Structures are given as C-alpha cells and as structure tokens.
C-alpha cells in the first residue's frame, strides 16, 4: 500500500481517501436511518460494532479536516459530531473531539464550545445522555461493563507485566494465560469474564501483557514521536493544506489517531486501524528520496 501511494500522483491518492471517507459517512447515516446489518443492533453498516466503525472513520475524518478550507472544516466536524452522537459511541465522540482540538485554532475551539453547549442542552431532551455519563463515571461503586472492561485492561497489563518479570506472556497469548485481578473477579461475578478477554479492551493493554517491557518501550517511543506529528498536522491545517504532500498527511493522520486504539478502545492487532497504523510506520521509516510519483506514459508512448 505504501509503495503504491509513493508512486501514484497525489490527486489519485487524495481521490481514493476522499472516496472512502464519503462511503464511511454514508455508512453511518444509513445506520442512523435504521438499517442494521443482519439485524445486529450493534452494527454500523458493514461494521459489527460502532467502535470498529470509529477506528476506521477517524483517520479519514482527520485527513479531511486538516486539508479543508475553514468553512468546510466546520461542516466536516458537524457531520462527525452528528454521526457520533446519533450512533452513541464514546469512542467516536472522543475521536471527533480530538480531531477538533488537533486541527483548529484555540479561539475557534472556544467558539465551538460556546455554540456546542446550548445545542447539547437542547439535545438532552431528545437523546440518551445517560449512556455517556455511565461510561465516563469511574467513581461509581457499581460501574457498567464498559468501565469495568477498561479498568480491567490496565489491571491485567500491570499484573502480567509484574508476574512475567517484564518478559510478557507471548504473542496472542492474552486470554489463554495471564494474571487475574480484582476487577476481573468483578466481571466474573456478573458472568462477563469473557468481555474483551483476548484483546485487553485496548491495544496498549494487550501489548504490555504479551510483550512486557519491550511494549512499554515501544509505547514510550510512540508518545515521544506523537507530538511531532500532531504539531506538523496542525501547521498544515492552519494553512488549509497548501503545498503539502497529501500522502504524508494521510499516513500521519493514521499514526496520530491510533492513540485511541492504543489507550481508549482497541480490537487487537488485526484491525483496519491497525493495518493503517503499520502502513504509517512504513511510510515514516522509508527514506523520502524514494517518494517519487509514478510517471504516466504519454499517448505516443502508450501507442
């Protein structure tokens, strides 16, 4: 994928990314209108869960917002929030908020907050905001399953790191082996011990449990490089995407938005967002000299 992106003209890559983005938007809107694949109440179009949809959608939204004019930025963010709140996904709402914070100026964020607060107050009469409050309340003595699963991910990561002496359980061994803590026992008490048993609830938990101190070092390296990517994308966004390599913007957006998979909600290594993240690493590591566009033969040459 990276080699193809390097050799294609920017406009073709840009067209492909925008096409996928609008398909994903349509996917969310169709779900809001009532279509659920095969009667699955959690499905979003051809995604089995709304969090899976969020992981695929957010890098493309980030790309679109960064490269758009200021008027279009507002429209795209509005569409993102509309889809996120109607699909009732904390992951998606958090992701769209992150895109707004990373792509807008401070005064624009203040203006957005001033506009959003009264809209949310009106919307509270028509939407179920208890869904969000229950998932963001970590002080409740009886937290819901999503909160327990998230807390269990951190607890298992810590216990597996400590009990394996920093070595880890091994690739894809989480759920088959490993330590069980108090939160895991709380899940077992409500017959939910299999909830996110194998994926750790988020990717960082799975990485630390399976690769130990090596995973901790890789996560630290990611966090060190992350601000650099965020800063560069913010500068591009301020200029409206002028005179910039669109391919670099896309792969950097995939790299940045993977922090949601890592630290909030992830589905394991083998996911669409995981694939895009690995592709972004390949793009970052490859020398810039090889990033030459593919030359299109002339009509005479083709003849």
Torsion of the alpha carbons at 218, 277, 132 and 61, rounded to the nearest 10: 140
Q: Are residues 119 and 162 in the same domain?
A: no
Pull the structure tokens for residue 209.
């449990």
Among 61, 102, 115, smallest CA distance to 83 is for 61
In this structure, the answer to whether residues 164 and 44 fall within a common structural domain is no
pLDDT in tens, 177-211: 878 888 888 888 878 778 778 888 899 999 999 99
Look at residue 73 and tell me if it is in a domain: yes
Asked if the structure places residue 235 within a domain, the reply is no
Region 276-291: mean pLDDT is: 80
**What is the reported pLDDT for 302?**
45
Q: Which pLDDT tens digit goes with each residue over 99-125?
A: 999 988 888 788 777 777 776 666 665
Same domain, 122 and 18: yes
Residue after which a domain boundary falls, among 161, 182, 211: 211
Q: Does the pLDDT of residue 4 top 60, yes or no?
A: yes
Name the DSSP letter for residue 298.
Answer: P
Together in a domain, 170 and 111: no
Residue 96 lies in a domain: yes
Final residue in a domain of this structure, among 161, 195, 211: 211
Q: Say if 242 falls within a structural domain.
A: no
Q: Which residues pair with 25 in a beta bridge?
A: none
DSSP three-state, residue 44: strand
Instruction: Give the number of domains in the chain.
Output: 2
Reported as a pLDDT band with limits 50, 70 and 90, residue 227 is: very high
Query: Is 18 a member of any domain?
Result: yes
- Tell me the average pLDDT of the chain: 83
Residues 6+ apart with CB under 8 A from 62: 99, 102, 103, 233, 253, 256, 257
Judge whether 223 lies within some domain: no
Asked whether residue 12 falls in the same domain as residue 122, the answer is yes
Same domain, 11 and 79: yes
Q: What is the pLDDT of residues 234-250, one digit of tens each?
A: 999 988 766 788 899 99
Same domain membership, residue 6 and residue 126: yes
Q: In terms of domains, do 277 and 197 share one? A: no
Q: Is residue 276 part of a domain?
A: yes
Domain contains 155? yes
Its domain, for residue 200, covers 137-211
Which residue, 166, 183, 211, sits at the end of a domain?
A: 211
Same domain, 54 and 143: no
Give the C-alpha distances (Å, rounded to integers) separating 245 from 64, 100, 127, 143, 252: 14, 21, 41, 46, 11
Nearby residues of 256 by Cβ (< 8 Å), 6 or more positions away = 62, 102, 226, 229, 230, 233
């Amino acid at each position: 994928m990276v080699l193809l992106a390097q050799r294609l003209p920017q406009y073709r890559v840009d067209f492909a990314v925008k096409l996928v983005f609008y398909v994903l938007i349509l996917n969310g809107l169709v779900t809001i209108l009532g279509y659920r694949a095969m009667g699955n109440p959690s499905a979003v179009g051809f995604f089995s869960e709304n969090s899976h949809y969020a992981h695929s959608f957010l890098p493309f939204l980030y790309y679109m917002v960064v490269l758009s004019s200021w008027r279009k930025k507002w429209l795209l963010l509005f569409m993102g929030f509309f889809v996120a709140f109607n699909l009732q996904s904390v992951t998606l709402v958090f992701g769209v908020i992150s895109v707004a914070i990373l792509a807008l100026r401070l005064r624009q964020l203040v203006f957005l907050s001033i506009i959003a607060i009264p809209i949310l107050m009106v919307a509270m009469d028509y939407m179920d905001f208890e869904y969000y409050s229950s998932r963001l309340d970590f002080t409740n003595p009886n937290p819901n399953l999503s909160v327990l699963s998230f807390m269990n991910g951190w607890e298992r990561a810590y216990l597996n790191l400590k009990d394996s002496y920093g070595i880890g359980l091994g690739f894809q061994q989480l759920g088959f082996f490993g330590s069980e803590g108090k939160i895991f026992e709380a899940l077992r008490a409500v017959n939910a011990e299999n909830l996110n048993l194998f994926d750790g609830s988020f990717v960082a938990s799975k990485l630390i449990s399976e690769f130990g101190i090596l995973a901790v070092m890789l996560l630290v390296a990611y966090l060190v490089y992350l601000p650099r990517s965020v800063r560069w994308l913010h500068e591009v966004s301020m200029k409206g995407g002028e005179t910039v390599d669109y391919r670099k913007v896309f792969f950097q957006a995939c790299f940045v938005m993977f922090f949601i998979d890592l630290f909030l909600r992830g589905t394991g290594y083998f996911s669409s967002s995981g694939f895009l993240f690995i592709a972004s690493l390949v793009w970052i590591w490859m020398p810039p000299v090889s990033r030459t566009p593919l030359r299109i033969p002339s009509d005479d040459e083709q003849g």
